Amino acid sequence: MNFQSLSNQGANLSQQNFQHQIGQNPLQELHSIAGVSSYIKSNFRQIDIDGDGRIGRNDVLRMLSQAETQKVEDTFASAFLYHYRGNRGTKEISLNCQDLERMSDPKFSDRAQRTLDQLAKKESVAELYPKHRIDPTTILQGALVDSKFTATLAALAATPEGDKRIKKMIKVNADDSYTVTFPGDPQHPIQVWELTLRDKIIGSSCADGRLFVTLLERAYELHRQMMQITEGRLGLEKDPFELLTGKAAIKLSTKRNSLLSISSQDMRNRQIILQALKSYKTVTLAIVDDQCAETSGYVIRRRIAERQARGFQLRSKHTYALIDYNENTRMVTVCDASKSAIKDQNGTVQGEINIQLSELERCFSEISIEA
């Protein structure tokens, strides 16, 4: 069995399973505040996996990880909890039965209704691309893949040719299926027959209400699965950066020295970064270890306070997209694709921040640049 047939078989099974589930489990009742809160309360013990009497972040993520095999009602309920927590300003908030009871209260119902509207919008997405150029700040990370994929996609979209390069990956077939050919592995195109409910409501998405982000993520999942089956033992699974750009990444491992100490390596790294920015290369920034720069004394407190005041906080084991550079001010704009869950007190999304070029190696432990 070849790579393409494996891809087709996986997509067909997924679609058949989804259609079978839809036939048995209609979701109409869950599209109201009373319906979804009642369903969550009825299945509270199943969702509260750790049994602490509260539905926390880990409970929701475990439910989402089982979305391929669980009922669509469970997928919808866990997606509601995931996005509802985001709409409350943080993913760390946990919910108990009293919180669920209060969802129908006018003081709290607007948050729940906003979440249901958000899910309904995700379910009904039909257009593939936005009418205008792809905006990197509209690429939102979901719960299915890590930040490296969405950060690379956003960083690629920020380059002058990024819009064309992304659109070139997707071909719409006569039978309404899609063929996705990643530049980093053109020998293994992936066929996606249709996006499931799981893909649409908990996967990565475009804030403009377009399918291309979700579609590319689904193809990436299938590609990763197929590579693990056919070639995983050889260690040939593609890195998201190389897969999306078609080029190997130049990785700069930075040393977080004191701000007053600039080594020759720092200067060399800075020149490489500067040249990449002037050449409009795809650049991602990551904190790959457990130590976040903003909590370890490497960035002065005033800078941290400014970012946190805007609702932006650097996190460990997370990847960010570099989407703009101002040569006059030497400031770069860094975007967090998980920004849908980062909001200030007024509910305004704050998923991007300006950072001095000289601070990059202080804030991030690994910088990936398109070769």
Q: What is the DSSP string of 211-240?
A: SHHHHHHHHHHHHHHHHHHHTGGGT-PPPH
Note the pLDDT tens digit of each residue in 306-356. 555 444 567 778 899 999 998 898 888 888 887 643 444 444 445 777 888
Asked which of 123, 157, 189 is the last residue of a domain, the reply is 123
CA distance 4 to 34: 44
Q: Which residues contact 147 (CB under 8 A, 6 or more apart)?
A: 141, 318, 319, 320, 336, 337, 338
Q: Is there a single domain that holds both residue 227 and residue 288?
A: no
Query: Looking at the chain, which runs of residues are DSSP E strands?
Result: 139-140, 170-172, 178-180, 190-192, 205-206, 249-253, 283-287, 318-326, 331-335, 352-356, 366-370
CA distance 29 to 38: 10
Q: Is there a single domain that holds both residue 216 and residue 253?
A: no
- Please indicate, yes or no, if residue 5 is contained in any of the structural domains: no
Q: How many domains does the chain have?
A: 3
Asked which of 209, 225, 244 is the last residue of a domain, the reply is 244
Percent residues over pLDDT 90 in the chain = 23
| Nearest alpha-carbon partner for 142 in 237, 59, 33, 218 | 218
DSSP 8-class letter at 136: G
- Please indicate, yes or no, if residue 128 is contained in any of the structural domains: no
Asked which of 244, 263, 284 is the last residue of a domain, the reply is 244
Q: Is there a single domain that holds both residue 41 and residue 113?
A: yes
- Please indicate, yes or no, if residue 7 is contained in any of the structural domains: no
Residue 305 vs residue 339, higher pLDDT: 339
User: Which residues constitute the domain of residue 202?
Assistant: 136-244
- Please indicate, yes or no, if residue 334 is contained in any of the structural domains: yes
CA distance 161 to 134: 11
- Please indicate, yes or no, if residue 204 is contained in any of the structural domains: yes
Note the pLDDT tens digit of each residue in 166-214. 999 999 999 989 999 999 999 999 999 888 888 888 889 888 888 999 9
The enclosing domain of 107 has a CATH number of 1.10.238
Q: Is there a single domain that holds both residue 59 and residue 145?
A: no
Note the pLDDT tens digit of each residue in 11-28. 444 444 444 443 444 578
Is the model's pLDDT at 234 over the cut of 60?
no
